[in-house]
Structure 1
Amino acid sequence: MSKIAILGGGNFGTALAQHLARINKEVILYSIEPEVVQDINTRHHNTKYCGNIHLLHNITATQQISEAVQKADALFIVVPSFAVAEVTKNMLPHLDKNTIIVSTAKGLTPEEKRMSQLLEELLPKTFHDKIVALSGPSIAGELLMEMPTAVALASKKIESAKHVSKYMNNKNFTTEINTDVIGVELGGFLKNIVAILSGISKGLVKSVNLQAVVVTQAYAEVMTIAKAMGAKQETLLGLSGMGDLLVTCFSTKSRNNRMGQYLATGLSVEEAKEAVGQTVEGVHATKIAYQFAQKKKINLPLLEKLYKVLYENRPITQDFFELNS
């Protein structure tokens, strides 16, 4: 049996811990929030992020990153993309040479680096083949409840992804393994753009017909961007792309979808972010994708409209999605 470390005590980090604790002997969760650590260790709950869900007794929590990282067989980084660099620097002195590192963060740096590229920049070369990207349709609440889930795992060295799958697979959870790290990371990141647009369409018109049109057209634009960045089409149509897209666009729990709906009610970007209450990766994704499209002279009408809403205060009117425009 194995020691698994989870860096990040939010809803998805806790859900992953609960799932992994069903399969592995020891799961230790690192959080910077003392109330989360105390709640897990004394009551076996993470009330702040997971309500009254009872956590398995082989999950422990700590505020000491060294305690979590040391001698871990696999380590899951489950923090927002903006925090990955800091967490990686803090864990590095305690990292065992054989630990496999799994990145779940969906984002790019301001320099347009994917999370695996950032990790390669910060970690010694000996770890580069041990970096695995995880993405796919995996709502935290459903994972906590043992509902059927499947995700994609990608690594330059496919054996690393296969190794991680052994820690994760059971009758309710399966993994799709490949070596297209670019596609897995970009699918999980860029689909958040589509989710915001989907939320705007739902908030504006309450038409499933229109929502389907918007999602189809917006994802076609996203695929154009992702392929231009090096992603493979088959990956974008798999779990980390299309699968994650569907759950993000049509789930009422999706923060990016909710962001779009709040914008459609007339809230400002900052007000909508505040109403969501968590990091909305699609806002940053829109900026990165739009700037890339401009640089490559790629015409993407929906992406341009969303960029102008998020960064140029364009109002959202009833004809925002006029189909013949």
Structure 2
Amino acid sequence: MAWLALKTLAVWGRRAKQLSYTNTPNNGQNKEVVREQSKLLYILSLWFGGTGAVNCALTSFIFGASHNPLISINAVLIIFIYAMIFHNAQSWKRSGDDLRFIRRAQTSFAVLGFAWGCLINLFALYGQPEQAGLLVGLASALVSTPIISVPAAVAFGFFVPEAALSVIAISIIMPTAEFYTSIAFISLVFYVAAVTLYNNKMFVGRSVARHALQREIETVNVFLREYEEGSSDWLWSIYGNGIVRSASPRMLSVMRLSLEQVQNYRLQDLLTTETDTDNRPTGDLASFFLGGLSFRDHLVRYQTNDEIKWFALTGHPIAD
């Protein structure tokens, strides 16, 4: 069973590389994904660096680091690796080099996972039988850590060596090792690996979708700007209560108002609905806005101190 778990971990580790961008991004979409991964990795590095070092020192003391040089050396090594992870995160904060940050994190977290796995085995080898529950709990907590980690290459860089060595410690080396505990722990390893892959897949998917949406928005803005510059029509938008949200420069020029001035009014207060040829109202803007109704070529009047102007408005409700 332990051999099957180790083999499965290796397969999932290779799968994790497919969800990570450890090579130079070849387009803007990949760069955006790498940037978001780096931002989250920075936060996780700071958090893991602090809590991990404290937990390492505390558990090493409990398992007898004061009289066991092997445990002491391993614990010091882990704390040093956490310090390197913290330094790497701060270096990224200054330089902004996402790819270098992720590559360094992948290496440092892989070494950290191996070091923690070795420490777990030392705890299993030199710990007291009554400390078996604490050992299983510590190993389970360490194995579960990558669930919230991105990118997948970094998460599995830590997870694979730590989980593999923990399986050996819990299933073989621990003095009170027994079949059912081993099965339960290996099941946890499989669960964490699957959830970590799923979370990273969802994270990458959301990042790609967000970037695609941003590109669509930028494209639409370009089309709207070209439309405004080359068309005699104007573009405007309002909030749900009718307060003007935006208006094209040409519209503001004709109304002889600035955008700041217009944004103090409701559009239905600035423009008066005209009547048709039979002197009957054709509907008013307030009723259209209140009912969330579309309208087309709705004739309205705008009056200044010295002249009256008529506009034909078209509007469609859009939910934010």
Per the normalisation by structure 2, the TM-score is: 0.24
Larger Rg computed on CA atoms: 2
Structure with the larger helix share: 2
